[in-house]
Structure 1
Amino acid sequence: MSASPFDRLGLEARRLARRLTPEALAEEAASLLDRPLRLGVTGLARSGKTVFTTAVARALLFPDRLPFLQARADGRLIGAELRRPGDPEIPRFAYETHLARLAGSDGEMPGWPASTRMLSQLRMGLRWKPAGMVDRRIRPVRELTLDIIDYPGEWLLDLALIERSFADWSAEALAMLRQGKRAELARPFLARLETLDPAAPADDVTLAELGQGWSAHLIACRAAGLAVSRLGPGRFLVPGDLEGAPVLAFSPLPEPRGRVPSGSLYAVAAERFDQYRKRIVGRFFREHFARLDRQVVLVDLPGALSAGADAVEDLKLALTESLGAFRYGRGHGMIGRLLSGVRIDRVLFAATKADQVPAAQHARLDALMQSLVADAARAIRFEGAETRTLAIAAVKAAESVFAEHDGRNLACVRGRIAGRERPSVVYPGELPADPAEALARAAGGGFDFPPFLPPEGLVRDGHGMAHIRLDQALDHLIGDRLG
């Protein structure tokens, strides 16, 4: 008698169960984990992305300063190497050049690398011994390909434009130009707008002048220490391969009354804005940001505090809006992750340049960072991703010291400052325990965290560079993949 469909189904189920042994499942899991892990180094301009990427690579190549990276602490980390980039269309991150700048060469003192001007990628290979007994039986030595993605921080501003219209962006930008210190810097640009009729027929010369004028204003604001995160677009600050392209030939314009004529300055500028938003921002996001697995968000909190409370609030708003464009969360297990597509499942919010703050106040810096990113972190955790905040210095350029002044023992920092021959001791101000009080003090100009230069002897053969909590940052970002 032939077997019934139910009998055949039961037989097939038993055969499948025999194949699904712990060893087979572990092997399948290992194959899924063999694909490169893509780490996005995210942050606004001057947050330290280039230094962070350089320091991470150096630390993994020479891990003697990584006691809190668990695989290193357990003696399971075998080593790391630099590899040829996986995407031939993305420039390789200039690790050697940046390291040489930090080390000082050709008679020059150590200095900070130049800011990122283009998208770049650094690929590394890591080898380690698995922690679990089953994993060790199947594959005694594991490998991980780590792709570190670096890009100009100015481009992060563009993510907030994805859902905005030209009319909304123009209205907000023009309103901001008339406020506070921006008004003086905006005078040449606003004067040019006064001579134009947005409803008049468009011409390429005028549109190019508007684009150049808007770019000049943004650059002037940045040079004056004024926040530009609500203005943008980011490519007007760092155009990359779009230098001189028509897609950057526009600016915010007042909306004409009544119907907007086709072919007018306003209509063509709106078209250029939409082209920029959809083609430039959308494509960049799809091809690079949407493929990230892990993310570190770098924030120059000491710099923002020194600039004042408005800069801190602007920073908070920029981060919240920009991070909302990323895909966060994890599927239910590996199958769920495969079905739902690549999502960022671990995020580190890092307050950079912590060496500018006395060590005893680092917990307060961390608390302020938590307060700053609370809304963004809450939304990310709701989607299922793990988050953490840390006060770090990817490269430790200053040390904490105490100095007596007027009978008081003050917590200070000491390091190299541009223009001075010897290391200087600086009292930057005391960071309050209450984040709200810290913002109030920043509003009154109560902080002055100095931008120290890298110390001599930072880069030594066969050793990693001095840092603050870079090992803890790495353990959160990649430690689970080295288990």
Structure 2
Amino acid sequence: MASIITLADEARYAFDNLLEGVLGGPSTLRLGVTGLSRAGKTVFITALVHNLIHGGRLPLFDAYASGRLAGAKLQPQPDDAVPRFDYESHVRNLVDARIWPRSTRRISELRVTLEYESASTWKRTFGPGRLDLDIVDYPGEWLLDLALLNKSYGEWSAEAVAMSREPHRQQLAAEWHHRLQGVDPDAPADELKAQELAGAFTSYLRAARADEYALSMLPPGRFLMPGDLEGSPALTFSPLDIAPDREPVQDSLAAMMARRYESYRTHVVKPFFRNHFARLDRQIVLVDMLAALNAGPAALRDLEQALADVLACFRPGRASWLTSILSRRIDKILFAATKADHVHRSDHDNLGALLARLTEKAAKRAEFAGAEVSVMPMAAVRATREVTVTRGGRKLPAIAGVPLEGEEVAGEVYDGASEIALFPGDLPKDPESIFEAARQFQSKPRDLAEEAHDDTLALRYLRFRPPRVERSETGLKLSLPHIRLDQALQFLVGDRLQ
């Protein structure tokens, strides 16, 4: 990551951090929450805040379990230029409507103030402690964009075209490939041609992200969530089939594409890094392992590459009072395999082992730089309960819940209202066996749809509705149930409440 940041950038980041330290004080912790599409970012933040404010069951969150956490309350959003995370609306969706909130489409932020009593007798003499927890929510696809800062237009084009020709992507990119065939990069710049190619390229990215295929390597991220940039020249470009080191002819189509690519890096990617990413203290990366397993070996391979690129973007390091002022570093990174409630607890360790295998190499690099890294299976909102089912005279550990409307098993389509009991299958105890299956598929290219529905791994997971949240004796809604949310809180925040 160091190669994409100039000395001038570093000086500016240091000045920003110094100013923030003076104005915000040492009692502020900025927690970044990210994950690739549909990993559960919005649900995680909503559940975390709801449990803190409403006194949820958090036995592994030390400050809460020991009675030192006096309270938690929302505060006004500290950054006037950043949208506020719509916590109240998301709670209504989860608790009242029992629907999952919409996916993260933009950056947002929320401040929660934690008031606590220090565990240290010496610190308690100075009165109660206070920590402003600033939670920053941003799409994981934007994180993948940071890698573009280290690639020229030619390098990115060659890489994107080569990736689109891989067996599991070629079918999805067919229309874009067709339009690329007749393109002369040296032809005069043509706005209509640029729009045509950008539209076809975006359609390919959108198809690759669909649930059926669940591919993760989809930069540029803003092509799928353009916001107020939709239709702008900064989003109207496409890779061309050119050599990585080729210099575009002046005023040509390739020159126009390269210029717009540079505008995207300058006006979209770099401000995100400077204004948000470079200011984080802690980071949680949510990973939907089950969606990748559902979609097949191609999706799993793709997720592995995406996570490697995500991890390469972090600025890990050991935090100190000086580094926190001059150069913000992420000193704790948590990788969480979400939707742990979709498998029985007997499979949780196997789910965590799969994620640890995916992130192993990059996690070691972060630890070498001084950051503390942890991996855990988690469900920010638990949508199922555990039951036992009998099949062929055998009792099997299973889960029970209400599948989302339209979910299907063995030809039966569910209505979104009826509860079912389901044995989801067993994850292998050795994660390497799944990656070995993925490598075998890579050496035997097949039709993408055939691969996505192959039963070799025999793993299929349903999506469930949020649970029905019970009311207390006083009529108040209880906190949202979870799996290991308290353990995540302890890792990410616990040391700051000592």
Output the TM-score relative to the length of structure 2.
Answer: 0.85
Unpaired runs of 5+ residues, structure 2, are 1-20, 406-414, 442-455
Unaligned runs of 5+ in 1: 1-28
Contact 1:345 1:385 in 2 (8 A): yes
2:469 is aligned to 457
**1:34 aligned partner:** 26
State yes or no: 1:159 paired with 2:151.
Answer: no
Counterpart of 1:290 (choices 268, 278, 283) is 278
Structure 2 vs 1, CA of residues 300 and 272 (structure 1 numbering), >3 Å: closer, same or farther? same
- 1:187 lines up with 2:187 in the alignment: no
Equivalent position of 2:193 in the other structure: 206
Amino acid at match of 2:349: A
Q: What is the distance in 1 between the residues matched to 2:48 and 2:226? A: 27
**Pairwise CA distance, 1:468:** 0.1
* TM-score for both structures, normalised by structure 1: 0.88
1:190 Cα deviation after fit: 1.5
What is the aligned counterpart of 1:58 among 21, 33, 50? 50
Deviations along 1:318-341, one digit per CA (max 9) or x if unpaired, are: 11112212211124x4235434x1
One-letter identity of the residue aligned with 1:176: M
Matched, 1:78 2:74: no
Larger-gyration structure (1/2): 1
Does residue 176 of structure 1 match 2:163?
yes
The separation in 2 between residues aligned to 1:208 and 1:349, in whole angstroms, is 38
- The aligned runs of 1:51-450 (5 Å cut-off) are 51-105=43-97, 110-138=98-126, 140-223=127-210, 225-255=212-242, 260-331=248-319, 333-339=320-326, 341-419=327-405, 420=415, 421-440=417-436, 444-450=456-462
Q: Distance in 2 between matches of 1:454 and 1:279?
A: 38
Q: 457, 478, 482: which is aligned to 2:493?
A: 478
Deviation string for 1:280-317 (max 9, x for gaps)? 11111111000000100110111111112221221121
TM-superposed CA distance for 1:212, in Å, is 1.6
Q: Distance in 2 between matches of 1:240 and 1:154?
A: 14
What CA distance in whole angstroms lies between the structure 2 residues aligned with 1:103 and 1:168?
A: 47
**Whole-Å separation in 1 of the counterparts to 2:425 and 2:90:** 31
SS at 1:121 equivalent: strand
The answer as to whether partners of 1:111 and 1:453 remain within 8 angstroms in 2 is yes
Q: Secondary structure at the match of 1:125?
A: strand
2:78 partner amino acid: G
Q: Deviations over 1:233-269 (max 9, x none)?
A: 0001111221111101111101179763111111111
Q: In 1, Cα distance between the equivalents of 2:258 and 2:344?
A: 49
Residue deviations 1:376-435 (CA, integer Å, cap 9, x gap): 211111111111111100000012222111122222221111233311122222111101
* CA gap 1:185/1:368 in 2 versus in 1, 3 angstroms: closer
Measured in 1, the distance between the counterparts of 2:100 and 2:61 equals 26
| Aligned position for 2:482 | 467
Moved more, 84-93 or 402-411: 402-411
Deviations 1:203-248 (A, max 9, x none): 2222122212211111122125335433420001111221111101
3-state DSSP class of the match of 1:188? helix
- Equivalent residues of 2:211, 2:295 under 8 A apart: no
Letter in 2 for 1:477: L
Q: Secondary structure at the match of 2:478?
A: coil
Q: Secondary structure at the match of 1:116?
A: coil
**For the Cα contact (< 8 Å) 1:102–1:459, is it kept in 2?**
no
Tell me if the contact between 1:37 and 1:144 (Cα under 8 Å) persists in the aligned partners.
Answer: yes
Which residue in 2 is equivalent to 1:14?
Answer: none
- The ranges of structure 1 where at least 4 consecutive aligned residues each deviate by more than 6 angstroms after the TM superposition are none
Check whether the contact 1:397–1:452 (CA below 8 A) recurs between aligned residues.
yes
Fraction of identical pairs, as percent: 45
Query: What is the CA-CA distance between 1:346 and the residue it aligns to?
Result: 1.0
Task: State the one-letter code of the partner of 1:447.
Answer: L
| Alpha-carbon distance in structure 1 between the residues aligned to 2:61 and 2:87 | 22
Q: 1:429 to 1:441 in 2, by over 3 A?
A: farther
Whether the aligned pair in 2 keeps the contact of 1:37 and 1:147 (CA below 8 Å) is: yes
* CA 1:44–1:60: 2 relative to 1, 3 Å: same
- In 1, the alpha carbon distance for the partners of 2:32 and 2:198 equals 30
**SS of 2:56 mapped into structure 1:** helix
- Tell me, in whole angstroms, the C-alpha distance in 2 between the residues paired with 1:283 and 1:229: 23
